[in-house]
A and B are shown apart, each in its own frame.
Chain A
Amino acid sequence: MLIFAARRLLATIPTLLVVTLLVFSLVRLLPGDPARLQLGEEATPQALTELRHQMGLDRPVAAQYASWLGDLGRLDLGKSLQDHTSVAGLIAQKLPTTFELALLSLLVAVALALPAGIVSALMPGSVTDRLVTLLALSGISLPSFFLGILLVYAFSVNLAWIPASGYVGLSENAGLNLKLMILPAVTLGVGSAAVLTRFLRSSLLEVLSQDYVRTARAKGVAGRLVIVKHALRNALIPVITVLGLQLGGLLGGAVVTEQIFSIPGFGRLLVDAVFTRDLPVIQGMVLTSAALVFLVSFLIDLAYGAIDPRVRYG
């Protein structure tokens, strides 16, 4: 297992390097001078030259990249242009809120997808199946910001059950935190639920046609037990991969959801950084989001062995 993990990790290094190269180049694409961006239009040529030297902008690009990589190795993502705080610190401060939102969204997604996918696969071609299939495609097509607005209108404006926006930390007041997180979690979770339903349906349909399911049925195992003990356990394996792959989509979706519900998380930080053109923050966040996607896909690979006994680490 350890050898597999090390080998898998080594295999991702070249791709990770390309990721860092892309993020580094992104900022170089920006029209204008980062030093002028930091000092403003009024800066004197002397101040600009000094800052450029301090930032290393007068060095060759390859040297700049190497020193930036060195900083990354020490988890130093630079400083925000706005308040000169550490970018890594800012991200670390905002990520837990977004993780909570993503986790709650996944719970919503699983709670909706599990029954829908199972019912649909058990009755292929039926009216229920067609309805679930159409609903799932609608869920994928529904813009999360429109769903969010509809939910705010129904539950905050019309029924006045839940405040339209706002955020209270989980440690401050867990009850209020969860209450405020319901609408954002549903807004973000519906899209993932739709994707999961489609995967679970096709995965379950495939497993149900396998010989061992037929054998179990022939041996007289009760219908429900065949589904739960034999079919579902195997059908869920590819679905778990899809669940993990949803993380990238959830991080992107969080940008919009956090904007609608005024949640001070990772997504909100990105939008704020974009509007203030806070390059080190944007750069750090893009890199962090890619690193998180890598980490999750690595963990899924490791978890596969635990879930699926057919997978052996060689």
Chain B
Amino acid sequence: MTAVPLVAPARRERSKAFRRFTANRLGVFGLIVVVLLSLVALLAPAVAPFDPAKQDFSALLQPAGAAHWLGTDELGRDTLTRVMYGARISLSAGLVSVALALLAGTLLGLIAGFVGGWLDELIGRFIDALLAFPFLILAITLAAILGPSLQNTMLAIAIVTTPAFARVTRAQVLAQRELEYVQAAGALGAGRWRTLLRHILPNISGALIVQTSLAIAEAVLAESTLSFLGLGVQPPTPSWGSMLNTARGYLQTAPWLALAPGVIIFVTVLAFNLLGDGLRDALDPRSRTK
């Protein structure tokens, strides 16, 4: 008897949020670009015109043309192919690091917000301390300490992204804890963890979804920055940041070399930011900018 009125408004709210999101053209555009980029990353081995490592010394630094749509690099490798394979690195770095941060940050935030007391104090200080380090400086330091590789880049970005998730979760839990439905769940005999995971977590998922999208944008940017500095994925693995770093040396002779990796990083980060903004407007209309 109680299930119907409790579920129905939640479903209605979800469909309202869906309608609000689909009405936001920029948000939908962001989603489409993200889906397309993900497809390119997944299908790169099947759809890329060349092997990303194949060198062609008869076609060095070629501008865009019929044979190579985005030209070739200093070793005669096809730029379009390397941009497509680079999507695998950037998107997997973004997704894996943010998934790790989401898991760790949400857990820390849930515990701090719900348990409170000295544990909240301890986790709070830890989060504040991590947030005091400039994002990029901490990411560079961790990447340097762990050594340059894709896994370590992901780990470094996950560590610097975790406090943001913990802070958002903690604030949301503190707000929800005082609401009637949480007290009702407690009165009906639900244990602490059941209340936390079955009742509070679904109600704060909107804020976490928005944070996830914005964090992936930041993570993709951080991965390409680390690769640009030579601290991320190592050559010959194609990554957008290292492609851009190589292109720097050919600005006089082959300026187009910088264009493809630079534009694709920009478009990817913009798409995740547009998606995040669209999701925020849809899931939390109060924060909507008029």
Contacts and interface: CB of A to CB of B under 8 A. Distances in A.
A15 B128 contact: yes
A19 interface: yes
B289 A149 contact: no
A259 B136 CA distance: 14
B228 interface: yes
Interface string B240-252: 0100110110011
B229 A149 contact: no
B203 to A, nearest CB: 25
Interface in B135-174: 135-138, 140-142, 144-147
A194 B221 CA distance: 16
Interface string A132-162: 0110011011110110011011000100000
A292 B217 CA distance: 26
A221 interface: no
A18 B225 contact: no
B22 to A, nearest CB: 18
A249 to B, nearest CB: 7
Contact of A286 (B137, B224, B241, B270): B137
Main secondary structure of the interface of B (DSSP, over half): helix
Interface in B195-253: 217, 221, 224-225, 228-231, 241, 244-245, 247-248, 251-252
Given A19-B129, A149-B248, A256 B225 contact: yes
Interface residues of A, number: 54
A60 interface: no
A157 B145 CA distance: 36
Interface string B124-139: 0110111011111110
A246 to B, nearest CB: 10
A244 interface: no
A145 B231 CA distance: 15
A255 B229 contact: yes
A124 B230 CA distance: 43
Given A124-B290, A153-B258, A201-B289, A143 B221 contact: yes
Per CB-CB distance, the 9 closest pairs between chain A and chain B, nearest first, are A252-B136, A146-B262, A18-B129, A248-B134, A141-B270, A141-B269, A274-B144, A252-B134, A290-B132
17 contacts: A15-B128, A15-B132, A18-B125, A29-B145, A29-B146, A138-B266, A142-B269, A143-B228, A143-B262, A145-B245, A146-B266, A149-B248, A149-B262, A153-B251, A253-B136, A274-B140, A290-B133
Interface of A: 14-16, 18-19, 21-22, 26-27, 29-31, 124-125, 133-134, 137-138, 140-143, 145-146, 149-150, 152-153, 157, 164, 201-202, 205, 248-249, 251-253, 255-256, 259-260, 270-271, 274-275, 277, 282, 285-286, 289-290, 293-294
